[in-house]
Amino acid sequence: MKLFSSYNRILSIITLTGLLVIGFLFYQTLGQYLNKQIDDHLFEELLEVEDFTHVKNILPSPDGFDDVIVEYKKIHQVTNKRRLFADTNFYNPKKKHTESARYLKTELNLNGQPYQVMIIASKFERQEQIKSIILIILLPVIILLLILWLVNRILIKRMWLPFRELLSNIKAFNINQEKVFEPIQTNIEEFKELNKAVLDVSLKVKSDYREIKLFTENASHEMMTPLAVINSKLDTMLQSNTLGKEESEILADLYKATSKLTKLNQSLLLLVKIDNNQLQDKEKIDLKALIEEKLNYFQEFIQKRSLQVQTNMSPFSISANRSLMEILINNLLSNAIRHNYDGGSIQITLTKDNLIFSNTSAQSALHPGKIFERFYKDNTSEGTGLGLAILKQVCLRQNYKLSYGYEQGYHQFKINFDGPENEIR
């Protein structure tokens, strides 16, 4: 949930709860005040009944009152002179329907006779007054709250506009680009501090990244020459006839380790180039022809391991960097060959949307969340652990979707070309 929505929800709950509590207390207070007025009126009518009886020596007619109903009930004697006020419902003969009312009940002597007297007054008019009063008060309050809510919404949106701009600039910030982080202009002190902190962090990150990138690139370049010299010397020594068996085996192990170190260095240098966007030139590439070319290139390795290659490729051209696409196909094909077993199978499928490489292997399913991490490899692998990481970086730079799956004994690497630049020919 967004901060603005959360704030509005809390504010709405507090406001609504406050209105309900205040409205309930106001209604109860107003109701008690009007009941007090009715009770005073009932008491005045009782006094009129007593005065009329005292003067005329007869009971006043129950129909002789305009706004109240008076009922008399003769009793044996007056036992309780206490006046009882309470609410009730009664049938109003004048209006011919049932209404809520307030009554006064008491016992007294009228013209020397004990009577129970009940005086009933309708509450209908006063209830209508309460509704009118509440409506008169409630409507302006609701309108005021709506105005406040609207003003609050507009003000908060304007106040948080620098934050949204800052967030947009953070999302647009790219560590690989020379363009620095764009600060925002704001008069709000908190956003000024946040803006300055993000700007300082972005400058430090770019500076650290440039140093690491420069170090990696320089280190890889500087290592190429001594590694080439070591490989050349070891190759010369291995071809010498003066070495014994033990010395030859030691030199062979050294040559193997040096070759692996050379491949690792080349892979790291390639990753640096991909990360630095040094391979950006695009051209139209016949992907089917490129795969067939690479199959011919790896034909000797395929025949050496007696692998069965099955292809199902439709003609398809794509706009991409040729070097990156060659790296992509080389890594997919070499991975399918190297991690296969003798007499295994490789399946290549190319459609207008997808490129799928599937291969059999002695290994079971790999961890789909880790196989594309740098230097991740299983215990039986003799590679550098960077092949699939390079594959992932190439797909990221070309905006392709790379996924891994394991179905019916086949390891499957699927690349989805989901972009407007793809076209069939």
Q: pLDDT digits over 218-265, tens only? A: 766 666 677 777 777 777 776 776 666 777 777 777 777 777 677 666
| Strand-by-strand arrangement of the 345-350 sheet | 308-313, 345-350, 354-360, 410-416, 401-407
In contact, 83 and 76? CB cutoff 8 Å: no
Distance CA 341, CA 305 (A): 7
Residue with token string 């790296």: 327
Report the candidate in 297, 419, 311 with the shortest Cα–Cα distance to residue 358: 311
Listed range (89-93, 170-174, 223-227, 373-377) with the worst mean pLDDT: 373-377
**% of the chain with per-residue pLDDT over 90:** 0
Kindly list the distances between the CA atom of residue 390 and the CA atoms of 42, 196, 257, 298, 395, in Å, as whole numbers in the listed order.
96, 36, 21, 19, 9
Residue 107 and residue 111: Cα distance in Å, rounded?
13
Contact 101, 121 (CB under 8 A): yes
pLDDT tens sequence across 104-162: 888 888 877 888 888 888 887 777 777 787 788 878 888 888 888 888 778 777 777 88
Give the pLDDT confidence score for residue 386 in this predicted structure: 65
Cβ–Cβ < 8 Å for 38, 102: yes
Burial 334-370 (b: 16+ CB within 10 A, else e): ebbbebbeeebbbbbbbeeebbbbbbbbeeeebeeee
**What is the domain partition of the chain in residue ranges?**
3-132, 189-275, 283-416
Alpha carbon distance 307, 342 (integer Å):
6
Question: In the predicted model, is pLDDT for residue 31 greater than 70?
Answer: yes
- Helix (H) or strand (E) holding 117, with range, is strand 113-122
Give the single-character DSSP code of 65: -
Tell the burial category of 245 from Cβ atoms under 10 Å away from its Cβ (0-12, 13-18, 19+).
Answer: exposed
Which neighbouring-strand residues pair with 412? Answer: 358, 405
Q: What is the DSSP letter of 423?
A: B
Query: Which CATH class, in words, describes the domain spanning 283-416?
Result: alpha beta
8 Å CB contact between 79 and 107: yes
Cα separation of 68 and 58, whole Å?
19
Q: What is the pTM of this model?
A: 0.45
Give the closest residue to 86 by CA, choosing from 128, 121, 115: 121
